[in-house]
């Protein structure tokens, strides 16, 4: 799941978190335990429920709910690994290899209401960087994401 919108090649170095101000570090850390969302065509809106060890993604258009393990490497980088399909009420077929999906993610352009994720995955050419913008909702995302 966690499909993304734009593919390009990029080799941007992340700023070491040790050089961040306390305020900027707190901003990055605020995205660890949160509810947020992103939109991916043609699938629609993905609702995300995240904590220090897992990330759930709920696809609004088909009711699919997928769980990922999340391993934080630093305050700005994390690895998502497919854990399990929790719900698939419409019997939507899944991409081949999803059960082995591993995404290496880096947070860019981090703000209070959104951030840009730059990611590589074992399901795309490992030189391609895939970009996804995550947004905080104006209100809680609802009971399906309160697991």
Helix/strand/coil (H, E, C) string of 29-83?
A: HCCCCEEEEEEECCCEEEEEEECCCEEEEEECCCCCEEEEEEEECCCCEEEEEEE
Between 15 and 127, residue with greater pLDDT = 127
Percent of the chain exceeding pLDDT 90 equals: 64
Average pLDDT over all residues of the chain: 85
Class for the domain spanning 24-137: mainly beta
Give mean pLDDT, residues 26-35.
94
Can you give the pTM of this predicted structure?
0.80
* pLDDT tens-digit map of 88-140: 999 998 888 889 999 999 999 999 999 999 999 998 866 789 999 999 988 66
The H or E element spanning position 116 is strand 114-121
Q: How many CB atoms lie within 10 A of CB 76?
A: 21
Report the chain's terminal Cα–Cα distance, integer Å: 19
Reported as a pLDDT band with limits 50, 70 and 90, residue 19 is confident
């Amino acid at each position: 799941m966690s499909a993304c919108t734009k593919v390009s090649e990029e080799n941007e170095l992340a700023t070491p978190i040790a050089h961040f101000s306390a305020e900027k570090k707190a901003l990055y850390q605020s995205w660890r335990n949160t509810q947020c969302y992103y939109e991916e065509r043609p699938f629609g809106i993905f609702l995300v429920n995240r904590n220090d060890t897992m990330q759930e993604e709920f696809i609004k258009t088909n009711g699919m709910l997928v769980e990922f393990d999340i391993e934080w490497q630093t305050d700005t980088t994390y690895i998502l690994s497919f854990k399990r399909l929790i719900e698939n009420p419409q019997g939507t077929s899944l991409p081949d290899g999803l059960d082995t999906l591993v995404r290496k993610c880096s947070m860019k352009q981090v703000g209070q209401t959104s951030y840009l994720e730059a990611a590589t995955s074992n399901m795309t050419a490992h030189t391609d960087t895939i970009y996804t913008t995550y947004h905080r909702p104006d209100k809680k995302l609802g009971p399906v994401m309160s697991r």
